[in-house]
Structures are given as C-alpha cells and as structure tokens.
Amino acid sequence: MEKSAAIAPAPGTELTGYVIDISYNQVVLETDEGYTAYFPFSEVDNERNGIYQGEEINGYVKYVDDEISSLLLGITNEDLPEDEKNDAVGDFYHAAEAYEKAMVFYKKALEMKEAALKTASDEEEVYKLRAAVAFSCKSLGELCADMNDLPAAVANYKKGFDILRDLPPTEELISFAARIGDILEDMEDYEGAIEYTFEACQYEADRGAAMMNMGQRPDTDQSESMANHLMKLGDLYGKTGDKEEQLQAYGNALTFFSSVVEERGTVRDFYVLAEINYRIGDLSGDANYLGEAIDSLEVMVQEYPDLPELKEALDRAKARFDEV
C-alpha cells in the first residue's frame, strides 16, 4: 500500500489494522492510514485458535516512528510504565528489523530494572526484578542473534541465565540453557553446546522431581520438552564423534517420548517416535529399532498418503533395514 502523507496518529488514537504477518512476537498489521502497525502477540485474545491473514484487529496507538512509517498498538489507551514501555518499543523495533533502535530501548529497560534491583529489599520484589532483568537479557540476546553477533548473544543469555540459575528450576531457566546451547552450536562450539544442553536436561529433571515431591505428575509437555533436549544432546554428541553418549541420549529420549505417544498420540507424535527409533537403529545397526520405525511409518502412510515426508521417511527406514 502506498504510504499516506497524512499526519501521524497521536498516541491514544484508536486504529484498525489488517493482519499481514507475524514477526518477533508481534502481529504485523496494515492500516488505512498508510502505516505499518505492530500489535503484541501476547495481547491477542488467548482463546483464539490462531491469527489469520487479513483479519481485523483494533488497538490504541502507543508509539509512532514516522521515519519508518510504523507504529506500535496496544490493547488499551492507558500509558505504559516506563520500563514496560521500553520493552514494548524495543520489541516493536525488533519486529520492524530496526535493530539499532531496538538495542537502545532494550538497554534502557535493562538499566532501569538493574537500578531497581539494587535498591529492592522485599524478597518477593527482588524475585520479580531478577526475572525482569533476565527477560531483558533474553531480549538483547535474541536481538544480537538476529544481528548475527553470536558472541554478544551468548553473553547476554549467559548473564540472564546466571541471574536465574540459583532460583528453583522453571521453564524459563530451562529455555535459557537450551537457547545458549543452540547459539553455541551455531558457533560450532559443540562442547559448550553440550554443557548447556545437558544443563537444560538436568533442570528439566529437577523440575519434574520437584513436582513429584508435591504429589503432581509431570505433564505431557514436560515429557516432550525433555525428549527434545535429549534428542538435541544426542545430535551434539554425534558432532563430536561420541557414539556411545549419542546412543544413550537417543535412548533416554525414546523413553520420555514413548510416554508422550501413550498420553497424546497425535500424528506428529508417532512421526517423532519413528524418527527416534530410526536414529537409534541407524546408529547402532539394530534392526529391532528400525523395524519399530517402519511399523509406525507404514500405518501413518496408509492413513495419510498425501504427506510425502512420511513416504520419504518410510523409504529411508526400509533401505537402512535392508542394509543391516
């Protein structure tokens, strides 16, 4: 759409936009005023099943940048607290790929939170501020990764991780460890990636044990998360040539993911289970695991003949089975 020469909408103005994309946790909208608008995904109605191309979304202008003909929308017309505003505007610029501007606002948010943390004395407030500081470190880490400054991305993530690591294990702490492992893998530092991915597995196990101690059973999502971390760990051991550790990681992943299939059993779940069996069979030369993969894939191919990836996976498993 050709950009309008009209005066930019003032903060607090209600606007309607139409969905054209999703970028860095932001729903990207096109407005009749000729501006590209960004609406935080977290503010979209939780009960929706998805966001659809061309869908109409209403919001209130929070921030405008005429230089890039873009604006930030929010769900209400109330002013945001300064630290939250810096986070929100940083996300806005991040989504708009105005990375240098995003860096400025993310750093402002971090500085404000760190200053508040230094003077906080209430235990609950300290806990919240530590989590908030870690969140800003995560934002900076992702921004640096998108700018292809991977050492800076790791440094920011490690800073946030160190703030969280002496707290009880949470999903956020696990995600920090896993993300550091991912970035280190991209840097081809496989030993470092193994260290942090292994920590993600340990924290996931600690979280599960804590739930069991409280009389709660870890849910399917946690079992899936653990299996995914173990699969990544196996892949990393493969890149270092440690076949024994690779097989052990895949075997542990199989144990966790088998429970996922029993409890949920979607098509994707059976596909992942077949993939784990294939990897173990391929690596060990054990026809039993390859046979398990083939059995699962044959059923899926019959039920979903229009999915070519299933047929490709089946052909691959059969070829390897014939070799062993």
Q: Where residue 25 sits, what CATH number does that domain have? A: 2.40.50.140
The answer to whether 244 and 251 have CB atoms below 8 angstroms apart is no
Condensed to tens digits (0 to 9), the pLDDT of residues 183-209 reads 999 999 999 999 999 999 999 998 877
Q: Which of 64, 79, 94 is the last residue of a domain?
A: 79
Q: Which two tokens stand for residue 33?
A: 């005023």
Residue 122 placed within a domain: no
pLDDT attached to residue 23: 87
- Give the pairing type, strands 70-74 and 56-65: antiparallel
Return d(Cα 202, Cα 218) in angstroms, integer.
15
Return d(Cα 303, Cα 219) in angstroms, integer.
28
Hey, which residues does 15 pair with through a beta bridge? 59
Residue 17 placed within a domain: yes
Residue 232 placed within a domain: no
pLDDT attached to residue 48: 56
Residue 221 DSSP label:
H
Neighbouring C-beta atoms of residue 43, cutoff 10 Å: 16
Residue 200 placed within a domain: no
Domain count along the chain: 2
Mean pLDDT score, 107-124: 94
Q: Which of 79, 108, 143 is the last residue of a domain?
A: 79
The model's confidence at residue 45, banded by pLDDT at 50, 70 and 90, is low
Q: How many residues does the chain have?
A: 324
Is a pLDDT exceeding 60 seen at residue 78? yes
Residue 23 corresponds to which amino acid?
A: S
Q: Which two tokens stand for residue 300?
A: 């899926």
Condensed to tens digits (0 to 9), the pLDDT of residues 132-141 reads 999 999 999 9
Residue 235 placed within a domain: no
Is a pLDDT exceeding 80 seen at residue 216? no
Q: Which of 15, 44, 79 is the last residue of a domain?
A: 79
Residue 180 placed within a domain: no
Mean pLDDT score, 151-179: 93
pTM greater than the 0.75 cutoff = yes
Return d(Cα 266, Cα 123) in angstroms, integer.
43
Domain, as residue range, for 298: 264-324
**Would you call 59 helix, strand, or coil by DSSP?**
strand
Q: Where are the beta strands (DSSP E) in the chain?
A: 14-23, 26-31, 36-40, 56-65, 70-74
Q: Is 47 exposed, middle or buried (0-12, 13-18, 19+ CB in 10 A)?
A: exposed
Residue 68 DSSP label:
G
Residue 116 placed within a domain: no
The answer to whether 161 and 175 have CB atoms below 8 angstroms apart is no
The answer to whether 234 and 256 have CB atoms below 8 angstroms apart is no
Residue 298 placed within a domain: yes
Mean pLDDT score, 8-27: 89
Phi (first) and psi of residue 56, to 5 degrees: -90, 130
